[in-house]
């Protein structure tokens, strides 16, 4: 079974803090993704990576950055957390670029106060 | 970029009835269309998918149809059961990047 693990299930951070969300997958997948899930808005892509050291902007990258130093780990960074970044964050991985399912982590519920 | 619209946003059916969720997409280059089910408090999981060279696919009570010309695809669940209650997401994928619909909350009443 593919396992995608996010480091925290729940996080509470203060406005202006730098926040790190970590994601690790154990199936040697090339592709990793960070999504944000808000009620009524589906899953919106923040950033993705097709390989180590590579990153590409998704649909809503503003206020976020990412790091992929190792193939199995993809980190999402909130440089200066704001209340409008309160959300559920989902990490996903896929074995190849095309026509394969995504495997999701359990999600991190981030609250910025 | 790709835009995916999903309808309805909520759907309530009686146990044993059928449920249909429809999605449209805008980018004709999209070639892979997965459907994910997310139960309350859990991660999304793939339930069925279809590739652009196929018009229909079925897996037990679940089927998906794709009309490439019209750029729409649909999920059909027959003989619904209470455990089918969840949020369902469609997605359109191009070169490994998936764009998701906003989700449909399906409630199956016993």
Section A58-66 average pLDDT: 96
Q: Which residues contact B41 (CB under 8 A, 6 or more apart)?
A: none
N-term to C-term CA, chain B: 41
Q: Report the residue from A98, A101, A104 with minimal CB separation from B43.
A: A104
- Count H helices and E strands in chain A, helices first: 0, 11
Percent of chain B with pLDDT over 70: 100
Task: Please write the tens of the pLDDT for every residue from A5-59.
Answer: 999 999 999 999 999 999 999 989 999 999 999 988 899 999 999 999 899 999 9
What's chain B's average pLDDT? 95
Q: Give the pLDDT band (50/70/90) at residue A93.
A: very high
Section A82-88 average pLDDT: 98
Question: Can you name the residues that pair with A23 across neighbouring β-strands?
Answer: A6, A74
Q: Report the residue from B1, B89, B96 with minimal CB separation from A59.
A: B1
Nearest CA-CA distance, residue B66 and chain A, Å:
15
| Closest to B25 (Cα-Cα) out of B97, B107, B76 | B97
pLDDT of A2 higher than 70: no
pLDDT at A81: 98
Q: Give the pLDDT band (50/70/90) at residue B97.
A: confident
Nearest CA-CA distance, residue B36 and chain A, Å:
9
Q: Give the pLDDT band (50/70/90) at residue B52.
A: confident
Listed by number, the residues of chain B in 43-82 with a beta carbon closer than 8 Å to a beta carbon of chain A are: 43-46, 49, 51
| Residues of chain A neighbouring B9 (CB-CB closer than 8 A) | 40
Section A69-78 average pLDDT: 96
Q: Report the residue from A44, A99, A107 with minimal CB separation from B31.
A: A99
How does A68-91 read in b/e, with b if 16+ C-beta sit within 10 Å? beebbebbbebeebeeebebebbb
pLDDT of A99 higher than 80: no
pLDDT at B74: 98
Nearest CA-CA distance, residue A97 and chain B, Å:
4
pLDDT at A97: 65
């Amino acid at each position: 079974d593919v396992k995608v693990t996010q480091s925290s299930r729940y996080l509470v951070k203060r406005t202006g803090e730098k926040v790190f969300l970590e994601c690790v997958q154990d199936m040697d997948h090339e592709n990793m993704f960070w999504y944000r899930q808000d009620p009524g808005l589906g899953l919106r892509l923040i950033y993705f990576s097709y390989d180590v050291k590579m990153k590409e902007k998704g649909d809503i990258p503003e206020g976020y950055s990412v790091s992929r130093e190792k193939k199995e780990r993809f980190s999402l960074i909130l440089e200066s957390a704001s209340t409008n970044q309160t959300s559920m964050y989902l990490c996903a991985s896929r074995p190849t670029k095309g026509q394969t399912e995504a495997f999701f982590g359990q999600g991190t519920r981030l609250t910025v106060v | 970029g790709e835009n995916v619209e999903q309808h309805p946003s909520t759907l309530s059916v009686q146990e044993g009835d059928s449920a249909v969720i429809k999605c449209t997409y805008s980018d004709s280059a999209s070639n892979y269309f997965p459907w994910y089910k997310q139960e309350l408090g859990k991660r999304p999981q793939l339930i069925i998918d279809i590739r652009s060279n196929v018009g229909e696919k079925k897996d037990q009570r679940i089927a998906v149809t794709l009309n490439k010309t019209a750029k729409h695809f649909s999920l059909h669940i027959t003989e619904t059961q209470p455990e089918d209650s969840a949020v369902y997401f469609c997605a359109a994928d191009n070169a490994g990047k998936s764009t998701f619909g906003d989700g449909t909350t399906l409630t199956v009443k016993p």
